[in-house]
């Protein structure tokens, strides 16, 4: 029997019981749809994280005081065992290190006239604009000159601006009060989209020269150090150089942590991959349930169509013909369900992309189709074998 004929027989049988067929494929639709959606969200998350890290620059190292552990507990506020002098010296360690800059961070109340806002004070160097991937909306960022002289100037985050001044008001040129000192606002940052745990992003920052921040807060140890290298490939060598520098100063691994964004990125991505895989696995359980549904309905169908099977055998159908007929019917049910599931999952992920980044990957679509065809074969096999084995005489007599 030709495949075309088998397919047309399958479609006729499925059309004959429309409602039943739709309900049966629902399990597959939901299973495939949720696998597609979850994989799309996972891939979207990975691409979002990758983009964020790429924005930081792949030729950057981050040094934090103390031991930063990913495995548990909130980050401790450790006072660094190195100071700004060390930051300067690290910057002068030579190739491949190009520059190093320290950063101070502290929670502060920022005031303008009667308005006040509790945000973060970030003391940085002039190259932070590049490092930190911040964009200026109005005004400008401060210069190297301002850092060297410790000028009382700064740029404020979008939220600080709207809270203190109000949308549309002029802020550049005005002075805000931080810890009792007047800081001249020379720039306002563009609003940053809510990232993951978006609370600590630059929207709530007042960014001033690190030298000024040191004077203002009395902090003379950096909260973080950023080291820039010539190329992305150099970060490993730079890490070794920085470590050697600290060891020479009798610091141990407990006193500092060096983060290489590209390594961190691969760790995060592999973690996200595992999470996506696990979630999709759970979603795939509904595929199993869907498969059981198909097997069940195919068994019912075989029983209902016993006489038809007897007739087909009397007309010359072999066991193989009958087996294929029911197997193809199960596969068609399952693959049609898979197709609808893919379309549904795709549609939902497009809808969700308004809120979070999603990416439907070709392999997940291929896999979903493959799995649904597989589910069809597995669940159709037992009913099809049963049909093929029916005794034609008994089948023809079946009432």
Question: Interface with other proteins by CB under 8 A: which residues?
Answer: 1-2, 4-5, 12, 16, 307-308, 310-321, 392-393, 396
Nearer of residues 1 and 359 to other proteins, judged by Cβ: 1
Report the 10 Å Cβ neighbour count for 281. Answer: 11
Closest by Cα among 287, 309, 307 to 385: 309
Nearer of residues 5 and 79 to other proteins, judged by Cβ: 5
Nearer of residues 174 and 319 to other proteins, judged by Cβ: 319
List beta partners, residue 104.
Answer: 123
Report the nearest approach of other proteins to the CB of residue 194 (Å): 56
CB 175 within 8 A of CB 208: no
Report the nearest approach of other proteins to the CB of residue 9 (Å): 9
Nearer of residues 175 and 321 to other proteins, judged by Cβ: 321
Nearer of residues 228 and 305 to other proteins, judged by Cβ: 305
Report the nearest approach of other proteins to the CB of residue 13 (Å): 9
For 201, list phi and psi in degrees, rounded to 5. Answer: -85, 175
Q: Are strands 97-112 and 224-229 parallel, antiparallel or unpaired?
A: antiparallel
Cβ-in-10-Å burial (0-12, 13-18, 19+) of 172 comes to middle
Q: What H or E segment, with its residue span, contains residue 63?
A: strand 60-65
* Three-class DSSP category at 365: helix
Report the 10 Å Cβ neighbour count for 377. Answer: 16
Report the nearest approach of other proteins to the CB of residue 319 (Å): 6
Relative orientation angle of helices 235-248 and 84-91, to the nearest 10 degrees: 130
Phi-psi category of residue 112: left, alpha or beta, with phi > 0 → left and psi -120 to 50 → alpha: beta
Nearer of residues 311 and 382 to other proteins, judged by Cβ: 311
């Amino acid at each position: 029997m030709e495949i075309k004929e088998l397919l047309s027989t399958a479609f006729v049988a499925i059309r004959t019981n429309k409602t039943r067929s739709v309900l049966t494929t629902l399990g597959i639709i939901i299973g495939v749809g949720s696998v597609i959606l979850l994989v799309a969200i996972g891939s979207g998350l990975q691409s979002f994280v990758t983009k964020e890290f790429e924005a930081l620059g792949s030729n950057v190292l981050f040094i934090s005081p103390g031991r930063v552990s990913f495995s548990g507990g909130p980050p401790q506020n450790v006072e660094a065992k190195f100071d700004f002098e060390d930051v300067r010296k690290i910057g002068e360690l030579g190739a491949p290190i190009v520059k190093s800059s320290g950063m101070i961070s502290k929670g502060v109340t920022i005031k303008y006239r009667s308005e006040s806002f509790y945000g973060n004070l970030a003391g940085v160097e002039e190259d932070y604009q590049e490092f930190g991937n911040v964009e200026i909306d109005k005004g400008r960022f401060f210069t190297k000159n301002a850092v060297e002289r410790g000028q009382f100037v700064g740029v404020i985050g979008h939220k600080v601006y709207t809270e203190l001044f109000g949308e549309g008001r002029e802020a550049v040129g005005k002075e805000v009060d931080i810890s009792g000192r007047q800081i001249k606002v020379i720039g306002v940052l563009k609003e940053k989209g809510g990232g993951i745990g978006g609370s600590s992003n630059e929207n709530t920052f007042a960014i001033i020269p690190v030298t000024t921040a040191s004077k203002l807060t009395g902090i003379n140890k950096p909260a973080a150090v950023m080291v820039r290298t010539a190329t992305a490939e150099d970060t490993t060598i730079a890490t070794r150089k920085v470590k050697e520098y600290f060891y020479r100063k009798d610091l141990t691994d407990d006193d500092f942590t060096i983060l290489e964004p590209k390594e961190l990125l691969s760790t995060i991505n592999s973690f996200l991959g595992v999470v996506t895989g696990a979630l999709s696995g759970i979603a795939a359980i509904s595929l199993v349930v869907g498969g059981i549904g198909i097997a069940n309905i195919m068994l019912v169908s075989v029983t209902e169509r016993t006489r038809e099977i007897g007739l087909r055998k009397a007309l010359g159908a072999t066991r193989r013909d009958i087996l294929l007929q029911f197997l193809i019917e199960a596969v068609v049910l399952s693959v049609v369900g898979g197709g609808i599931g893919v379309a549904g999952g795709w549609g939902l992920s497009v809808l969700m992309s308004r809120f979070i980044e999603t990416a439907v990957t070709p392999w997940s679509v291929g896999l979903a189709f493959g799995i649904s065809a597989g589910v069809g074969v597995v669940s159709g096999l037992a009913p099809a074998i049963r049909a093929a084995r029916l005794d034609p005489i008994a089948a023809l007599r079946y009432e």
